[in-house]
Amino acid sequence: MTTTNKIDLYLANNLEELNKRADDNPSIQKAKSSSCAQITHVIETIWAEAKKAELINDEERAYVLYMRLFACFTALKQAKDIANNQSSVQYYQKGALLWWEKADQLSASLKTRYDAKNAAKIEEERKIQAAIDEEASLEKSISPKLLYKYLNELKKNILLIDMRSTTDYDQSHMRTSACIHTPADLMNGKGWTSWGVESALTDQNACTKFKQRATYDYIVLFDDDSYENNLKAGHCLMGLKQAIFSFDRDVKLKHEPLILDGGYEDWMTYYPGENTAPLISRKPFGELRSFEVSYPDDVYVLEEVPADVTTNAQPEAATITSAIVPQIDRTRKPINSQKPESNIIESEELPIQQIEEEQQQQPTPIIPSVIVVKEQPEIPDRSMKPIQPIGPTSPVNQELPNIPIVPDIAAHPSSVTPIISNTTNISSEIPKLIDKNVNKNDSNRENIPPTDVSKFPTLNRGTLPIYRPFNRTVPINNTDEQYRKKFDAVTGRKVIIDTKSNRYITDIPENETNKTPIHITPSVNRDTKPILTQQTRQQIAYDYRAITDNLQVNGPTGLKNLGNSCYMNSIIQSLSFNLKLTNYFLSGDFNKDINTKNKFGSGGLVVKEWFKLIYLLWCQQYSYVAPQPFKYVVGTLQKAYLGTQQQDAHEFLVFLLDALHEDLNQATRPRIEELKSENFKTDRQLAEASKKSFLSHNKSIIIDLFYGLFKSTTICLLCSYNSIRFDAFAMISVPIPRVRQCSLDDCLDLFREFEYLRGDERYECSNCKRVSEKKRRLDIWELPKIFIVHFKRFRLQQTHYIKNETLIRYPISNIDFSHWSQTPSPSKYSLVAVVNHYGSMNSGHYTSFCNDGKQWYYCNDHAIRVAEKSELEHNVHAYLLFYSSLPQQQLRLPSIPN
C-alpha cells in the first residue's frame, strides 16, 4: 500500500451490510448465467479495480471487490461451456486463493474499525443524552464540575457574576472574560434592582455584559462558599437573582439564574489553574467540603507520645531500610473520624492472626528494599512506633529463630504490637536480614527516617490515637498458598511465612523456587524490538478508547477519569514526562529486559501495558485515552486499584515503580553476605559496599534512574558509640513547618534534624550492652538521577487527620542539590513534574504540572492546557516534586510499517 491513512468508512456500518453489498450487484448476477469468456472479462475488470482500491487504502471497496472476484470464480467453474475452458479455471485458481486471503485480512481490519466506530457512536449518543438529561436537571444550582464542563467542553455562553468582596476578587478570580464583579455591598444597603445594578457598576465592560444578560445561555451567581439550599431570604445572591429574573419585566432570561454550589472556594479546590492566582482558604480544616468519595473504616491504636507532638507537624514515617519511603494505606481512611474511643481500643485488641486473615483480600504495594550494613538494631520512627518493640538485626548468616507467626500475647498483656501496613521491597534475599533475638524481650528498630521533627521532647506524655494500617500478607504464587509474603511499613522489610508450619522463614526453599511463576508468558526473542503494525496500533487505540476530539497538535494526550482515578492519572503523566524512561519504552529497549520468571513480578504484564499506554500518550494522534486496560492489570496485583475509590497518589507511585522494577529486574538475586563494620575503615568504603550489595539483587532502569543512598547515624547517649549504616531509597518524604509559607530547603532542614529516642524507643546499645537513650539523624549520601520529594501534608489531630496547607516555595530550574548530599552531584537538577492535591485527606482531587523541556502543561485528567511558570511559583497544592538531572530527550517513537 502506498498510503498510510485509511479512507474513512462510508459504504456500510458492519460486515453484514458490506457482504450484502458485495452480493447485490447486477454484474455478478449476470455473470452466473454468462459464458466463460464473458466471466473472465468481468474478473479482469474487477481485479484491476480491487488493486486500485487497495493502493489508496479504501478497505471497504477493496473487500467488496475481492468478494465479487471470488463469486465470479465460483460462477466460472459452473459456466455452461466450462468443459471447453478448463484452462481458464486453472489460470484463476491461484488468483482465487489470493483473493480469499486478502478478503480475510481486510475483514479482520474492517471488523475492528466497525466495532470502534459503532462504540464511538454509542458513546457519542450516550454523551448527547447525558448532556440533555444534565441540562434538564439544572433548576436552581450548578456544581463546579458541571460549570467547568459547560465552559470548556460544551462551550456554553455563560455569564459569571462574582459577588465576593472587592478584596477577595482582586486577590483571585476566575480567568475568563465572561466573569464580572458585582460585590455584595454594591447597592449600599438599598434593595436589589436590575437598573440599580446597571447604574452602580463602574466598570464599563462589566456593565455592558450585565445589560446583555438576556443573550447568555446561563447566568451563574456565586460568593465565597454558599450553597443554594442554604440561602436565606435577604442574602445578596437571592436578592440579585430575584431582581434579574422575577422582577425584571423588560429583560427575559433564557434560563433561571443558577447558584454555584460551594462558591468560589469549591471552584478553586477543583480547578485552581482556571483562576488568576491561588486563594488560601479561610475555612478551618475540619470544615472543608468533602468530595463524593468514601473509604472503609480506619483502625487506630492508643499510643504513648510526647505531649508536644500534637502541636507539631508530624508527617508519616519514611523507612530507610526500604528502598522506598513507606506509605499510609489510603484504602483504610476513616469515613467517620469521630469514632468512640472504646471502639478504637477494641479493634486493636483483636488477635493478630485473625487480623491478618481479614486483610489477606487487600494486598499492599510492594517496594524494593535494601541492605543491612553495620550491626545495629532498628528503631521505629516516632509517628509509627509499635508499643511492643522489635528485636535488633541479626547477622545474615545466623539461623533465623524458629518462632510462631502469632506472638505470645499473654506474655505482654499491657501492650499488643500491631502489624504495620506495608510498603517495602520485593527482593527475595532481604528476608535473610530479619531481626535476631525476636524470641527474646524485643528491642526497637532503627534506620527509619525521622518524622518527629520537634526538639527535645518534654517528659509529659499523653495518650493519642495513632493511625496504623494493618500489614497484609499476599501469596507469592497464586497456585500455592503455602508461602505468603508480608510487608512492614515501619521496618521496611519483607518476610515470608510458611503457613503449614506457622513460622517465619528467610526465603522459599530451593526445591520450591522453580515452580510455575504467577504469570506465564510465551517465550519471545528479546533481541528484537517490538514493532507496532497498523493493525496492532489500531487495536491498542480501540482498547484504550482513544478519542481525537479537539486534538492539540504536537501537544500531550490526556487521561480519562475512570471514577476517582485522578491519583493514577497524575502519576502516569508525571512519570511519562521523564523522557529518558519514556524513550526506553518507546524505542523497544525494554523488551529485551523483561523478566518473566521473577516470582515477585507480573510476568511482564505491567511493563507491556505501560508501553501501550505510553505510546498512546506520545504518538500525538489523540486528545485523550481511557487507561482501563492498564488499571485492570495493576488492579490484579493490588486489588485496591481495581475499584473506583480514591487512593493516594504517593502510594500508587511507590507501587508502580516497584511493579515496573520487578518486571525488568535482571539481577539473579544471590545470597546477601553480611557487611561487618570492622571490615571498613571509612564511610565511603562502607557506602560503596552497601551499594554494591544492593545492586547485586536489584538491576533495572528503575534502579538506575530513581534510586539514591541514605546514611543513617545513631549515637548512644550513654557511651557515645556512633553506629552508621547505608540504605537505598527511591524518594524521600519530608515534613512541613507549621507556618503559612516556607521553602523546600526549610523542609529538608527538618528532615535532617536529630531525633531523640527515649522511653519505649530505647534499645540495647551494641557497644555498652545497656538499654539507653539515643539520637539519630538521616543524611542523603548519594542523590538519584531523578529525585522525588513527597511532602507530608497530613497529620493526626485528636481523632482525625488535617491537611497542612502551607505554601511551599520550590525551585524550578538549574538547581544545585550538592549541599543536601554528602556525595556532591556534578549535575544540576530541573523540575519536570509536580503532582498537586486539592481537598482533604478523606476526599480530594489530583492534577499535575508537567514539562517536556520546552513547555509546561497542566494535566487535569483528560483536559490538558499550556501552563505558565507563575502558576508553579504560587502553587499551594504541591504534593510530589519530580526533579531530574538528565536533559530532556527527543522522543523515539517506534516505526510502524505500512
Place of cell 423588560: 250
Reply yes or no on whether 255 is catalytic: no
> 542 vs 437, which has greater pLDDT?
542
- 669 phi/psi in degrees, rounded to 5: 55, 65
- The pLDDT of residue 89 is 77
Q: Does position 283 have pLDDT exceeding 90, yes or no?
A: no
d(CA 828, CA 819): 12
Q: Does position 700 have pLDDT exceeding 70, yes or no?
A: yes
> Does 872 fall in a domain?
no
As given in the structure block, the three cell numbers for residue 470 are 494493618
Do residue 146 and residue 227 come from a single domain? yes
| Range 534-555 average pLDDT | 76
Contacts 24+ apart (CB under 8 A), 607-612: 607/660, 607/663, 607/664, 609/633, 610/585, 610/660, 611/530, 611/585, 611/586, 612/540, 612/543, 612/544
> Does 417 fall in a domain?
no
| Range 550-577 average pLDDT | 86
Do residue 198 and residue 228 come from a single domain? yes
DSSP 701: H
Q: Which of 173, 837, 845, 877 is catalytic?
A: 845
Do residue 88 and residue 166 come from a single domain? no
DSSP string, 68-125: HHHHHHHHHHT-TTGGG-HHHHHHHHHHHHHHHHHHHHHHHHHHHHHHHHHHHHHHHH
The string of pLDDT tens digits covering residues 130-159 is: 777 766 667 788 989 889 888 988 888 999
Reply yes or no on whether 845 is catalytic: yes
- The pLDDT of residue 845 is 92
d(CA 706, CA 244): 59
d(CA 466, CA 311): 15
Do residue 275 and residue 151 come from a single domain? yes
Range of the domain at 254: 141-279
d(CA 163, CA 243): 14
Quickly state the pLDDT bin for 322 (edges 50, 70, 90): very low
Do residue 89 and residue 25 come from a single domain? yes
Q: How far is CA 190 from the centre of its chain?
A: 52
| 104 CB-side CA count, 13 A | 6
Q: Does position 227 have pLDDT exceeding 50, yes or no?
A: yes
> Does 117 fall in a domain?
yes
Give the CA distances from residue 489 to residues 320, 844, 872, in Å, rounded to whole numbers and listed in that order.
Answer: 10, 24, 32
Q: How far is CA 592 from the centre of its chain?
A: 26
Strand-pairing partners, residue 52, are: none
Number of domains in the chain: 2
- The pLDDT of residue 483 is 53
The string of pLDDT tens digits covering residues 352-384 is: 344 344 444 444 343 343 333 333 444 344 334
> Does 811 fall in a domain?
no
Q: Which of 234, 261, 279 is the last residue in one of the domains?
A: 279
> Does 890 fall in a domain?
no
- The pLDDT of residue 279 is 60
Do residue 117 and residue 226 come from a single domain? no
Of 294, 218, 290, which Cα lies nearest the Cα of 260? 218
Q: Which of 179, 566, 716, 765 is catalytic?
A: 566
Quickly state the pLDDT bin for 721 (edges 50, 70, 90): confident
Do residue 108 and residue 148 come from a single domain? no
The string of pLDDT tens digits covering residues 27-60 is: 777 777 788 888 888 888 888 998 898 889 899 9
Q: Which of 246, 279, 312 is the last residue in one of the domains?
A: 279
Residues 6+ apart with CB under 8 A from 235: 226
Do residue 152 and residue 205 come from a single domain? yes
Do residue 154 and residue 195 come from a single domain? yes
- 235 phi/psi in degrees, rounded to 5: -65, 145
> 90 vs 419, which has greater pLDDT?
90
> Does 54 fall in a domain?
yes
Do residue 89 and residue 156 come from a single domain? no
Q: Which of 231, 263, 279 is the last residue in one of the domains?
A: 279
| Range 667-673 average pLDDT | 65
CB neighbourhood size of 587 (10 A): 15
Contact 686, 302 (CB under 8 A): no
DSSP string, 618-639: HSS--SEE--HHHHHHHHHHSG
CATH code, 258: 3.40.250.10
CB neighbourhood size of 111 (10 A): 12
Place of cell 489553574: 273
As given in the structure block, the three cell numbers for residue 20 are 450484502
Residues 6+ apart with CB under 8 A from 841: 333, 794, 801, 802, 803
| Range 64-93 average pLDDT | 81
CATH code, 76: 1.20.58.80
Quickly state the pLDDT bin for 127 (edges 50, 70, 90): confident
pLDDT, mean over the chain: 73
Do residue 171 and residue 52 come from a single domain? no
Q: Does position 336 have pLDDT exceeding 80, yes or no?
A: no
d(CA 494, CA 695): 17
| Range 670-699 average pLDDT | 80
> 497 vs 406, which has greater pLDDT?
497
Full-model pTM? 0.50
Q: Does position 756 have pLDDT exceeding 60, yes or no?
A: yes
- The angle subtended at Cα 505 by Cα 400 and Cα 442, nearest 5°, is 50
Do residue 166 and residue 90 come from a single domain? no
> Does 25 fall in a domain?
yes
> Does 878 fall in a domain?
no
> 477 vs 25, which has greater pLDDT?
25
Contacts 24+ apart (CB under 8 A), 242-246: 242/192, 243/192, 243/193, 243/194, 243/196, 243/197, 244/194, 244/197, 244/213, 244/219
